[in-house]
Chains A and B, each alone.
Chain A
Amino acid sequence: GAGVSQSPSNKVTEKGKDVELRCDPISGHTALYWYRQSLGQGLEFLIYFQGNSAPDKSGLPSDRFSAERTGGSVSTLTIQRTQQEDSAVYLCASSLSDAADTQYFGPGTRLTVL
């Protein structure tokens, strides 16, 4: 079946602009995660959605970052007033039920803030 998809694959924006990154999880997966990976670094957890529960936003680096998940499926990560330090690859993953399960990752969105 189809895996996790993300769009766009690459996004170049100017400092101060808002960006929206999209993630389509695997159908039937109730858990969805957003991570950020800076060049040559490990993954930084951003936010976690589990079914209809309130999302775990503990990893969001600032109030410029927000995410929503509509209808328990597609998720959008929004970064307002982008800064150069926001440049990174943003990875989305989904799992069947929770973090104890295998996470399936999308190809990521490479964000470059000029």
Chain B
Amino acid sequence: SQQGEEDPQALSIQEGENATMNCSYKTSINNLQWYRQNSGRGLVHLILIRSNEREKHSGRLRVTLDTSKKSSSLLITASRAADTASYFCATDAGNMLTFGGGTRLMVKP
């Protein structure tokens, strides 16, 4: 079973709008990572947030982590058509990352 579950499964927005994706998980974690995947091929690492961190920024990305609720969110501000992709959260609870099912984001120009 998947450790992380993303919500929503699919999201369609207009260019310039913000996109928020959520991830919930079940067990205690060491860190949580977000990845992006274009066209069903290799994943690209976006950001890692450790269990003792609450918020992290990287360019137009903002990630929050609430360990009491076992949830994380990824915010993409001022979205662009090139942000269209699938976004996955992955949790590290030991010697492997467990990935969620992903959120498919479409940004319309």
Interface positions of A (Cβ within 8 A of B): 4, 33, 35, 37, 39, 41-43, 45, 48, 50, 56, 59, 89, 91, 93, 98-100, 102-108
How many whole Å from A69's CB to the nearest CB in chain B? 15
Q: With contacts A43-B88, A100-B30 known, is A56 near B2, CB below 8 A?
A: no
11 A-B pairs with C-beta separation under 8 A: A43-B88, A43-B90, A91-B43, A93-B43, A99-B95, A102-B45, A103-B43, A103-B90, A105-B35, A107-B41, A108-B41
Bound Cα distance from A104 to B92, whole angstroms? 15
Give the B interface residue count (CB, 8 A).
Answer: 24
Q: With contacts A102-B33, A102-B48 known, is A39 near B42, CB below 8 A?
A: no
Q: Which candidate, B14-22, B60-68, B72-80, B97-105, is the interface stretch facing chain A?
A: B97-105
B44 touches A100 (CB 8 A): no
Bound Cα distance from A93 to B96, whole angstroms? 11
B94 within 8 A of A: yes
B99 touches A100 (CB 8 A): no
- Secondary structure at the B interface, as helix, strand, loop or mixed, is strand
Bound Cα distance from A36 to B60, whole angstroms? 30
A39 touches B40 (CB 8 A): yes
Q: Which of A37, A89, A99 sits near B96, CB closer than 8 Å?
A: A99
A100 touches B98 (CB 8 A): no
B95 touches A42 (CB 8 A): no
A42 touches B99 (CB 8 A): yes
Bound Cα distance from A108 to B85, whole angstroms? 16
How many whole Å from B61's CB to the nearest CB in chain A? 14
Q: Which residues of A sit under 8 angstroms from B96, Cβ to Cβ?
A: 33, 45, 48, 56, 59, 99
B71 within 8 A of A: no
How many whole Å from A16's CB to the nearest CB in chain B? 26
